[in-house]
Amino acid sequence: MTHYLDELNPVQRAAVTTTEGPVLVIAGPGSGKTRVLTYRIAHLIEKGVPPWQILALTFTNKAAREMKERIERVIGPQAQQVWAGTFHSIFARILRAEAQKIGYPSSFSVYDTDDTTSLLRTIIKEMNLDPQVYNASAIRSRISLAKSNLVTPKAYRDNADMMQQDRQAKRPYIADIYEKYSARCHRAGAMDFDDLLLQLYRLLRDHDEVAHKYQQRFRYIHVDEFQDTNFLQYAILRRLVKYPDSPENVFIVGDDAQSIYAFRGATIDNILDFEKDYPALQTFKLEQNYRSTHHIVSAANEVISFNRRQLNKTIWTQREDRHKIKLLKCMTDDEEGRRVADLILEQKHRHHLPNSDIAILYRTNAQSRKFEEHLRRLNLPYRVFGGLSFYQRKEVKDLVAYLRLAVNPNDEEALRRVINYPTRGISTATVDKISQYAGAHNMSAWDSMLFVDVPDRARKALAAFRGMVENWQRRAAGDPASKLAADILRQSGLLDALKSDTTPEGIGRLENANAVLDAISEFVDNQEAVPGNDGAERSLAAYLQTITLLTDADQAADDSDFITLMSAHSAKGLEFRSVFVTGLEENLFPSFMSFEDPNGLDEERRLFYVAITRAKELLTITFAKTRYRYGQVRDCEPSRFLEEINSEHFELLGGFGSARQSAAPVGNPRASISGNFAQPRPRPQQGAAATTIPADFTPSPPEAIVAGVTVLHLKFGEGRVTGVEGPAGNKVATIQFKNDEMPERRIVLRFAKLKVL
């Protein structure tokens, strides 16, 4: 037997050597899925399958490149003849050869996101539509979602539900924009990223000879991270695999518990329902985790067992347990940032960790600010992934530029950045004239605005802009900095511009802008708490000086060794010796948006599962009792996910703001805030509901749940409803349960299972 097969455990080996027919490999985190995938391809080639008849689809170019390198180490240079690449790169390669059959030149252009957004802005402008209402980024996402679900411009217009959604959003012309956009792309001989999928599907659907050609070429098809595929990707896969007399040699690798990209169009149903389309499917479960220790693996199993639909598996590990999961509770988000930084320094000394072995994960990019500030305080080098450093993000720089103008209108760089953003009718040509006049007459750009010769429309726009900034200047000396900053965000038009983009990315940008307001409020509060600080120390100018010094800090000399800061979404596929999963609070992690969708909470739980399984040895989970959000200090409740982990896996670190206390077991983290430690909760059975449902239990309709009634909950038992609030369809009940450690709970009625007694 070839030596590389000896490196595999029995289940891995069985998956690799099962070469015929449909195969599903359910690969838990750290279970060696990449090795199985690459060895399977090497094994096929060694058995005599021509490498050019093997297709391997991935989600990143890096994964495809590493796959080929690994195969080459096993069987030699033949690996380079395997068709391995991302969905988009492989499909573009096919389209180059076949594009003329669907009316495109073989040299078609590929539009990236910026190209697409720019073209949509042009179309929106030509249609005389309000760019604030028809935000180009939001329209781009809407069109992308349509294409991912095989909805063409004509099908979009014929879809009553989509058209009704657009009318309700006061954007009834999206169908027209989509139609014009598609026509312009075709006229330009261009495809965007989504077209690479949509047009290939069209090619395979409408041209049988082309479909047959590639069905015969790709005799063995492999798909990595199958749980991340969308409807259109799966439709293309079926076109290539399912045809008369097909051997259905499709090998998919994935983990439903790591499906976290629904907001991008990925559907978990592809992996959950795969067996329905392939009855002859052979399934292999890679359940041994080679990455993490027992406490981490067990906690992950316990959390994911609460999800409703899943492919049952129990991950296990033989790695030695030396550390429990550390649970850090803090009074404020600032304390969270400080104590995480301090713990990192402690871990570096105690465990001799390089910076590159440490990661801080969070639910939203806006959370990075606190950690950045405190890591800088300790001179710990870091790098922000999945987004720019907080103060380098465009929306943050835009708002800060307005704040700088309010303090110093002669700041020309700030002026150039925002003078026409959001759009107010001041063209680039006008700005260039202002700069030229200022240079010729040795005056600031701000002053030259009064004298430069521009058309009347531009002059009126300049006057309105100056009047707005001058009003802020007058207020800067006396008004509270936080109040002035909030008014600048609103009056400048930035707030409306950010609100108009309702995509996940757009919501993140709005959160980042609000995080600046939080930072200013906190800065002022902190300065007021220091005896002797006068008004100047609490001013907007003082805050701007503080962050300028912060953002101008020198970079570490050794740029290769840094602490990683990233969102939990960005961490998928990575691993670190020490991981900090932060902000485990209700409405943050899980996100408040998850309560709008019955499947949203399951996806948030999968995201938490992904986050904690990035850790190899040291895992620290943090939450705060209060957090600055939207300019105010808000009380926070620990995440429900913490309740789903048995207390035996936790070690509690310290109290609120106190020195670190000796480790003690913790029960329910929500109860631990008030010092009441619960007994370890019985572990739910894998794949079963958390509570056994009584045979006669029938949930009452939400409208029957009113203040004063007694209800039965499957998990919390009997309780009394003390109040119901919120709009119809999204009401929240406050309930006092008799035998629960919490004084009261707030439950969303449309998701709750409550029976009126």
Enzyme catalytic residues: 33-34, 224-225, 258, 614
Backbone angles phi, psi at 753, to 5 degrees: -115, 95
Q: Which residue has the tokens 């800088």?
A: 376
Residue 164: how many CB atoms within 10 A of its CB? 11
Q: Which residue has the tokens 């063209």?
A: 427
Which is nearest to 369 in space by CA: 384, 386, 358, 348?
Answer: 384
Angle CA 60–66–68, to nearest 5: 110
Is the CB of residue 613 less than 8 Å from the CB of residue 30?
A: yes
Regarding beta strands 250-254 and 23-27, do their DSSP bridges make them parallel or antiparallel, or are they unpaired? parallel
**Helices (DSSP H) in 492-576: which residue ranges?**
494-499, 504-528, 540-551
Regarding beta strands 732-737 and 745-748, do their DSSP bridges make them parallel or antiparallel, or are they unpaired? antiparallel
3-state SS record for 98-123? HHHHHCCCCCCEEECHHHHHHHHHHH
What percent of the chain is helix, strand and coil (3-state, nearest 5)? 50, 15, 35
Which is nearest to 513 in space by CA: 402, 360, 594?
Answer: 402
Distance set, CA 566 to CA 363, 390, 561, 601 (Å) = 9, 11, 16, 21
Structure tokens at 425: 């009718």
Angle between helices 456-476 and 394-407 (to 10 degrees): 80
Residue 633: how many CB atoms within 10 A of its CB? 15
Structure tokens at 252: 């998919």
Backbone angles phi, psi at 662, to 5 degrees: -65, 150
Non-local (6+) Cβ contacts of 482 within 8 A are 517, 520, 521, 524, 631
Which is nearest to 104 in space by CA: 196, 170, 20?
Answer: 196
- H or E element: which one contains 650? strand 650-653
Is the CB of residue 698 less than 8 Å from the CB of residue 755?
A: yes
Non-local (6+) Cβ contacts of 384 within 8 A are 368, 372, 390, 565, 566
Regarding beta strands 563-567 and 109-111, do their DSSP bridges make them parallel or antiparallel, or are they unpaired? unpaired
Sign of the CA dihedral running 670, 673, 677, 680: positive
SS3 733: strand
Residue 669 buriedness (CB in 10 A; 0-12 / 13-18 / 19+): buried
Distance set, CA 67 to CA 3, 84, 86, 247, 526 (Å) = 19, 8, 12, 24, 52
**Which residue type is seen at 567?**
S
SS3 330: strand
| Bridge partner residues of 26 (DSSP) | 254, 285
Is the CB of residue 700 less than 8 Å from the CB of residue 756?
A: yes
